[in-house]
Amino acid sequence: MKNTVVLVILILVVSVAVYLGLNAIGLMPQQASQQAEGIDWLFNIEVMAISFLFALIAVPLVYSLVVFRRKPGEEGDGEHIEGNYKLEIIWTVIPLLIVIALAYVGAWSLGDVIRAEPGALVVEVDAFQWGWKFYYPEEGITTNELYLPVDRQVLLEMESQDVIHSFWVPEFRVKQDIVPGQTTEYRVTPIEEGEYMVRCSELCGTAHAYMNAPVVVVSDVEFETWVEDQIALVPDDPGPNADRGEIIANQNGCFACHSVDGSVIVGPTWLNLYGSEEELSDGSVITVDDEYIAESILDPNAKIVQGFPPNAMPQYTLSESEIADIIEFIKSISN
């Protein structure tokens, strides 16, 4: 009886200590979405449960090692215990009830997280190896930064061009996989203005760790201004236009793999690329011209430059004029 009382007290004390310790670490970043509160509440229950379960196992283990160790002169076996229906029923029924209750709480919370609000801002997300592209259908804008107005639900309609990626902004809490061949939805309501980062949280190849994009939450007014700026940014002369080429390349995530300063990220740099002679993986030598660049965008595996892996670049479906703009941009940084 004395042992039981001491154990119960020790388990409670250690549970609370572990819970407070885990909380002190600050496991969760800032809550920047309406959905975060419910998710953090659930997470907190989970931390309480693991603190208690840790104490429930570790405390009796250590206690037994110390208190019930063999005394000098003790030679016989321990008492043989077989079966205890009362105990077995208790340790089956109580966890069962807890798990059922958690299932209800989880379902209720999930319903809250995916609840659709009318008037949500629709953004189409294109995930690819290795970057993000955001298209605002109502506004007609394509960017590589996700700008969102505060206090308005956003509906992301997400597609992948190649492998499985996962959209994750830790401050928003909600996470969603993006599976090739289907459109997955993601809803979130940002409640804090600020700058965040979307990370890909599904291992997706060489540059997975760098598959980030800025997420900027701004006021309604700033969002409208940003939309107008984005529309005004793209020059509307018939082209080809190097400035527009740079914007198109940026929007399509080209700079995730191709630098413009001579450094090698994943693919060849664009600095001084136009007109240069490159040795291909089959040993032949080509001069980089309009035709070669256009082919490399539409069919990247046709001619691979020596030293670079095949299948690293996705096929792009860009229009002739968009390709002409990009070529014009590459020309502008080549001598």
Q: Which residues bind to ligand CUA, rule: CB under 6 A? A: 130, 165, 200, 202-204, 208, 211
- Closest CB to ligand CUA among residues 198, 247: 198
Q: Least distance to ligand CUA from the beta carbon of 160, Å?
A: 8
Cα 230 from Cα 244, distance rounded (Å): 12
Q: 292: which DSSP letter?
A: H
Q: Least distance to ligand CUA from the beta carbon of 223, Å?
A: 27
**Of 35, 61, 293, which Cα lies nearest the Cα of 174?**
35
CB 212 within 8 A of CB 198: yes
- Closest CB to ligand CUA among residues 103, 203: 203
Cα 244 from Cα 252, distance rounded (Å): 12
Q: Least distance to ligand CUA from the beta carbon of 183, Å?
A: 17
- Closest CB to ligand CUA among residues 8, 203: 203
- Closest CB to ligand CUA among residues 144, 241: 144
Q: Least distance to ligand CUA from the beta carbon of 93, Å?
A: 43
CB 324 within 8 A of CB 316: no
Q: Least distance to ligand CUA from the beta carbon of 196, Å?
A: 17
**Of 321, 325, 17, 28, which Cα lies nearest the Cα of 173?**
28
**Of 115, 105, 119, which Cα lies nearest the Cα of 33?**
115
**Of 208, 248, 244, 246, which Cα lies nearest the Cα of 128?**
208
- Closest CB to ligand CUA among residues 55, 125: 125
